[in-house]
Amino acid sequence: MRADVAVAVIGAGQAGLACGYHLRRAGLDHLILDRHSSPGGAWQSTWPSLRLFSSSAHSSLPGWPMPSHPDAFPPVDHALSYLAAYERRYALPVERPVTVQDVHSGDECLDVVTDRGLLRARHVINATGTWSAPFVPQVEGARSFGGRQIHSAHYRGPEDFAGQRVAVVGGGNSGVQITADLVDHAAQVSLVSARRLRFLPDDVDGRHLFAQATARLTQPDEAEAAFVGNVVALPRVREARAKGALRLRAMFDRMTPTGAVIGRDHLDLDAVIWCTGFRPALRHLRSLGLRTSRGIPEVEGHRSVRDPRVSFIGYGDWTGPASATLIGVGRTAKALVGDLAGELRPRGASGS
């Protein structure tokens, strides 16, 4: 692995690849570090039945559209193939597997400490996403529960829960998709959430989520008034809803060794699947002290306020509207790299 670079991109998922595309066009010397042994980023760790929320035509990274797929909502394997081909198509400089252990601040550069040696970079773009930092809320009695507890990040399919009584906690897309996935396998499936389900109309897909995310930042008051939902009614989800499997129960009051208490009822359970979201995977930046009391770094124009040599992309709307999506990350990557180009591009060089 090289020892010096203008820009080190940490993470070769969709955000890292989108940055690599624009860095290449801008003529900026860069290297993309990926902890995985193969392309695809976090998509490699999802469950097999996961579906994209939008068609192939509306799930593309910059420069090259995702190839069409006969299904309106393509499977995860299609996204994996596309990301691997995208990386090859643009000959992006990805080094893998490389684990970034820490980043230290120097006078002239940042020292990126990895299990493959030290990399000195003038700027670091963090594109590690959230998948490796699952969040599970603290619930009274959770440690006493004798059944199985996993986060959606570790869910691999309904076969593991055949014949069991399962509670899926979370009223977002992951909770709804996993509940639908379990319907014909588990003996009992209960969808549990502190918030109510808000389905998008059946004829609306993930493109609307992208539009909503953009509007929340540009026209927040109008966006709130126009909000119609955030759960995409995929075909399997609609089937589960028709069977009555998506009737929502209130959140646990507490857990017991054999299940959970909801109001006056005791729900007997063999397993709980927590679909309760993620936190930014930023442990490798701990030495820089960039986190605030909110748990995330303060950013201005995608760059850390405390150390502008560090940028963030793909973690949610605070790093760009819809930047955690395939279709949304390209716009943020273009703006981020454009901001860096004038500062880091060698004299006399120009982007293509």
pLDDT in tens, 211-258: 665 665 566 665 454 455 678 888 899 999 999 999 999 999 999 999
Co-location of 17 and 109 in the same domain: yes
Assigned domain for 215 exists:
yes
Assigned domain for 351 exists:
no
Co-location of 191 and 226 in the same domain: yes
pLDDT at 109: 95
DSSP for residue 222: H
**Number of separate domains in the chain:** 2
- Final residue before a domain boundary, out of 244, 274, 304: 274
Q: Residues 110-127: what's their mean pLDDT?
A: 97
Tens digits of residue pLDDT in 13-36: 999 999 999 999 999 999 999 999
| Dist. CA 12–CA 126, nearest whole Å | 10
Least confident of 200-214, 229-243, 262-276: 200-214
Per-residue buried b or exposed e for 42-71, using 16+ beta carbons within 10 Å of the residue's own CB: bbeebbebbbbbbbbebbbbbeeebeebee
Assigned domain for 352 exists:
no
pLDDT interval class at 1 (50, 70, 90): confident
pLDDT at 322: 82
| Residue-range definition of the domain harbouring residue 74 | 4-132+279-344
- Residues 6+ away with beta carbon under 8 Å from 294: none
pLDDT interval class at 196 (50, 70, 90): confident
Read off the CATH number of the domain in which 65 is found.
3.50.50.60
pLDDT at 195: 87
Q: Residues 156-184: what's their mean pLDDT?
A: 96
pLDDT at 4: 95
- Final residue before a domain boundary, out of 222, 253, 274: 274
Average pLDDT of the chain, as a whole number: 91
pLDDT at 199: 83
User: What token pair was written down for 166?
Assistant: 């399962």
Co-location of 14 and 27 in the same domain: yes
Assigned domain for 137 exists:
no
- Give me the residue label for tokens 């014909």: 184
Whether 192 and 248 have beta carbons less than 8 Å apart is answered as: yes
Assigned domain for 153 exists:
yes
Co-location of 126 and 186 in the same domain: no
Q: C-alpha distances in angstroms, 286 versus 44, 123, 178, 269, 283?
A: 26, 17, 33, 38, 5
Assigned domain for 350 exists:
no
Co-location of 107 and 153 in the same domain: no
Tens digits of residue pLDDT in 325-348: 898 899 999 999 999 998 887 655
Co-location of 87 and 179 in the same domain: no
| Dist. CA 347–CA 275, nearest whole Å | 49
pLDDT interval class at 139 (50, 70, 90): very high
Co-location of 45 and 169 in the same domain: no
Co-location of 296 and 327 in the same domain: yes
Co-location of 249 and 294 in the same domain: no
pLDDT interval class at 107 (50, 70, 90): confident
Assigned domain for 48 exists:
yes
DSSP characters over 96-151: -S--EEEEEE-SSSEEEEETTEEEEEEEEEE---STTSB-----TTGGG--SEEEE
